[in-house]
Amino acid sequence: MGTVSASPALPEPVSLCARTPRVAAERLVGEMVPPPRFDSVRFDTYVPDPNQPSQAEAVTVLSTFAAGLGDTADTTRGKRRWFGRKPPAEAGPRGVYLDGGYGVGKTHLLASLWHATPAAPEQKAFGTFVELTNLVGALGFQQTVQTLGGHRLLCIDEFELDDPGDTVLVSSLLSRLVEAGVALAATSNTLPGKLGEGRFAAADFMREIQGLSARFRPLRIDGEDYRHRGLPKAPAPLTTEQVTRAAHATEAASLDDFPSLLAHLATVHPSRYGALTEGLRAACFTDVGPVPDQSTALRLVVLADRLYDREIPVLASGLPFDRLFGEEMLNGGYRKKYFRAISRLTALARDAKGLLAE
């Protein structure tokens, strides 16, 4: 009678607290592409709400905009302009601003525009506002202008209108890129304390980017949040035993005490949070509790975004995710970010259900 061979033991879960990634500036540029969650989105996978004609119109306008970016045969025009005569300005806006409320699919459309633009991946860039400011910090302003100046298209998701200093920095950068012939596309959040926050922000966006406003065509996208508006109800938290067992039973999982992880995030620049989660197939947190202050909360928002972009399921014990942020935070100027973090962590917690199978 034959013997049954034992299953190979899985490696121990890693600790994010033990990781201190260093990311080269060249990698920051190379990774300015739509995140894995939006790898496969296209205009034809966006399902417009038949009751909201502006959604179908947005697909048509953006498809035409993308096609127009392939009209020129000079694929190195941006780079050559730094050494030659400035070409005549192109007619019409060279930018689009996707103006819509939370959850109407703006990022889906922005990523679809990136995919549809007829240019090599190295000639177009996609990143959040925070990732763009991190790039300037890593390369310096002039080097960033020269690096992105040879691109056909720059897509900026979640333009941070609530940070005046960074808004001025990025507006100056975009002015230089427009001069080099780079087309722009953007979405944004709304300014804190605005009446109707969470709906439309075109007027705020155009005012904050000042001289660039004439370069953008606002494209309004009406609709309800496809994920349902308001604070999502988080799944009931697991026990520490369940989380620990799942971490040891899942290949390429991490396992961290939540308070220790929050402390560790303060030692890692947010531009490296993507590298921090590299290779993970699950993130496991024990003893989740209230976030103590706003600086910590904003770092957690960035981590939640990176986990969500990379579709890394999350298992946690302690408090449910809808109790992470106190009432003062949820009523403050950054509330949209906190609601987004709760929504995304909740979705990842639901994605992790299969990891609990015995």
The pLDDT assigned to 328 comes to 93
- Tokens representing 50 are 């038949």
Q: State how far the alpha carbon of 183 is from the alpha carbons of 55, 68, 70, 126, in Å.
A: 22, 10, 11, 12
Tokens 């459309």 label which residue?
109
| pLDDT score for 57 | 96
Contact criterion met (CB below 8 Å) for 190 and 152? no
CB 314 within 8 A of CB 285: yes
Q: How confident is the model at residue 206 (pLDDT cuts 50, 70, 90)?
A: confident
pLDDT (tens digit per residue) in 271-308: 889 899 999 999 999 999 999 999 999 999 999 999 99
User: Under the phi-then-psi rule, with left for phi > 0, alpha for psi from -120 to 50, and beta for the rest, what region is 104?
Assistant: alpha
Q: What is the pLDDT of residue 88?
A: 43
Which helix (H) or strand (E) element contains residue 285? strand 282-288
d(CA 332, CA 329): 5
Neighbours of 43 (CB within 10 A): 17
What tokens appear for 200 in the block?
A: 């439309």
pLDDT of residue 6: 44
3-class SS at 72? coil
Which three-class secondary structure state does DSSP give residue 199? coil
Q: Give how far Cα 286 sits from Cα of 194, 313, 315, 334, 346, Å.
A: 37, 14, 8, 26, 16
Return the higher-pLDDT residue of 264 and 226.
264
Q: What percent of the chain is modeled with pLDDT above 90? A: 54
Please tell me the predicted confidence (pLDDT) of residue 73.
40
Span 298-310, pLDDT tens digits: 999 999 999 998 9
Closest CA to 154 of 95, 197, 224: 95
Question: Quick one: pLDDT band at residue 229, thresholds 50, 70, 90?
Answer: very low
- The predicted pLDDT at position 71 comes to 57
Give which of 256, 315, 305, 304 is closest to 281, Cα–Cα.
Answer: 315
Q: How far is CA 20 from CA 142, 267, 273, in A?
A: 28, 8, 10
Residue with tokens 């014990």: 317
Please say whether the beta carbons of 230 and 69 come within 8 A: no
State the Cα–Cα distance between residues 321 and 319, nearest whole angstrom: 6
Q: Predicted confidence band at 139 (pLDDT cuts at 50, 70, 90)?
A: confident
Which residue has better confidence, 142 or 134? Answer: 142
In the chain, the largest separation of any two C-alpha atoms, in whole Å, equals 84
Contact 90, 257 (CB under 8 A): no
pLDDT of 337: 85
pLDDT: which is higher, 26 or 225: 26
User: 220 or 125, which is more confident?
Assistant: 125
Task: Give the C-alpha distances (Å, rounded to integers) separating 103 from 47, 228, 346.
Answer: 13, 8, 15
How far, in whole angstroms, is CA 325 from its chain's centroid?
A: 20
Lowest mean pLDDT across 171-180, 233-242, 344-353: 233-242
pLDDT in tens, 28-79: 888 899 988 899 999 999 999 999 999 999 999 999 999 999 855 444 444 4
pLDDT at 182 over 90: yes
